[in-house]
Chain A
């Protein structure tokens, strides 16, 4: 009998599922080596089918998405119970990612935005109620949490695989490894490891030259007439997050001329992604004068968004103060 494979999406965009399918013929290896037991995006399945499985009967579960509501949390617990290897897959599951930026706002504002803005046609002001009495009985929809949590906030996680989404070649390498483990040809990395990544920073993989130049202005790529194709973007005033970001993507964005926005999450040893970037950016600012420093920093109009675009839910503060 083939070992079981599962993939789930909680609070996510679906891009991680696409990324898995983007491994092309590797997906056939998954089918050849695993019995796909549960994968709501790809096949019809019911939660009760998973509930009926024996504990630990799924070998590998790729869990993508953050924990936004009680349904996400319930399925995280269920899949933890049924899985031997639970992988927090993608930035949403590992650190909250774009959906985690909702932690900048209180949940009632999020609901307002979804159901009562100009672009929403809702003439009768109908808001979702979490339970509703029907002739047949009461029905429920999931209840929102006050903030997005990461997977490891709610259940123990075996491995973390960052990226928004993880790069296809990294997914293939991880699937190959698990298949090799199943065949007894390889060993799993130590529990808690970050997998499908490099072990340094995006800067280390970036071919752009750095000459420790300091800057007197932050700007944006489209405002600069001609960017130097060989020089570090940060040294040209473009707020590139590469120095705090974990390697693994082959420095895709700076190679293409766009700043790294940090989708691979904190580099090894970095506790708080934003804190590391604050240090990096502060060190390129070319001034010792408080007023002049403030003027240069005005070039980063949204520092919290710049530093926590992907990592807010997994950061030390986890969100803004209003997010209750």
Chain B
């Protein structure tokens, strides 16, 4: 997998049971194609999205994470999708500060009827991350040699 174009990103998708998970289901039933790169995890609501899930996904090899929920005003638990929105925006700022491109985390709204729209969102997400290349999160902590050339001889104090 040396060529960037051969790179198949792994995307973890956290979906809401009431909307986007059903939308994905609908897409499947209607034979709407979306890339197999996304692995869907069903939550009862986007408000259940603990930022820990996202960090864990990145730490364990995901190249991108997608969060989906009901459209604003349509969350089954009142305002939980707004909470998800606020968490997402703050989490994204934090990830960017850690050197992870903003495009690797994406939030999308999709109702249960929007199978086509969701499939398009997923496809676009996969393509954006494909362009970025693998994330390969792994800070090994091994010893490193200081590569700077010492230009001067150390003075040995007798």
Q: Tell me the A residues contacting B by CB distance below 8 Å.
A: 69-70, 103-104, 107-108, 111, 124-130, 132, 134-135, 143-149, 153, 271-272, 274-276, 278-279, 281-283, 285, 287-288, 290, 293-294, 297, 300, 302-305, 307, 315-324
CB distance from B149 to the nearest CB of A (A): 8
- Of A135, A281, A316, which contacts B90 at CB under 8 A? A281
B146 interface residue per 8 A CB criterion: yes
Are B99 and A321 neighbours in the complex by a CB distance under 8 Å?
A: yes
Are B50 and A126 neighbours in the complex by a CB distance under 8 Å?
A: no
30 contacts between A and B (CB under 8 A): A103-B139, A104-B98, A125-B151, A128-B146, A132-B154, A143-B143, A143-B145, A146-B139, A146-B142, A271-B56, A275-B54, A275-B55, A279-B50, A279-B51, A283-B83, A293-B89, A297-B90, A300-B90, A300-B93, A304-B97, A305-B97, A315-B55, A316-B55, A316-B56, A316-B59, A317-B137, A318-B59, A319-B139, A320-B99, A322-B99
* Bound CA span A125–B141, Å: 26
B150 interface residue per 8 A CB criterion: yes
Are A282 and B145 neighbours in the complex by a CB distance under 8 Å?
A: no
Known: A283-B86, A288-B82. A316 touches B141 (CB 8 A): no
Are A317 and B55 neighbours in the complex by a CB distance under 8 Å?
A: yes
Are B93 and A303 neighbours in the complex by a CB distance under 8 Å?
A: yes
Are A144 and B143 neighbours in the complex by a CB distance under 8 Å?
A: yes
* Bound CA span A33–B72, Å: 65
Are B145 and A290 neighbours in the complex by a CB distance under 8 Å?
A: no
Are A324 and B139 neighbours in the complex by a CB distance under 8 Å?
A: yes
Known: A275-B51, A294-B89. A307 touches B141 (CB 8 A): no
A149 closest partner in B (C-beta): B141
Q: Mark B111-147, 1 if CB is under 8 A from A, else 0.
A: 0000000000000000000000000010111111111
What chain A residues lie within 8 Å of B152 (beta carbons)?
124-126
B85 interface residue per 8 A CB criterion: yes
Q: Mark B58-94, 1 if CB is under 8 A from A, else 0.
A: 1100000000000010000001001101110111011
- Of A69, A278, A288, which contacts B51 at CB under 8 A? A278
What chain A residues lie within 8 Å of B142 (beta carbons)?
145-146
Q: A278-B51, A279-B87 are in contact. List 20 more A-B contacts (CB 8 A).
A: A124-B152, A125-B151, A132-B154, A144-B144, A144-B146, A148-B141, A271-B56, A272-B56, A274-B55, A279-B50, A281-B90, A282-B87, A293-B86, A302-B97, A304-B94, A317-B139, A318-B141, A319-B139, A321-B98, A321-B100
Known: A125-B151, A146-B142, A324-B139. A275 touches B83 (CB 8 A): no
B52 interface residue per 8 A CB criterion: yes
B31 interface residue per 8 A CB criterion: no
Are A145 and B94 neighbours in the complex by a CB distance under 8 Å?
A: no
Known: A111-B146, A129-B150, A293-B85. A145 touches B141 (CB 8 A): yes
What are the 9 tightest A-B residue pairs by CB atom distance, in nearest-first order? A321-B99, A304-B97, A124-B152, A282-B86, A275-B51, A275-B52, A288-B82, A316-B55, A282-B87
CB distance from B5 to the nearest CB of A (A): 23
What chain B residues lie within 8 Å of A107 (beta carbons)?
144
What chain A residues lie within 8 Å of B94 (beta carbons)?
274, 278, 303-304, 307
What chain B residues lie within 8 Å of A315 (beta carbons)?
55
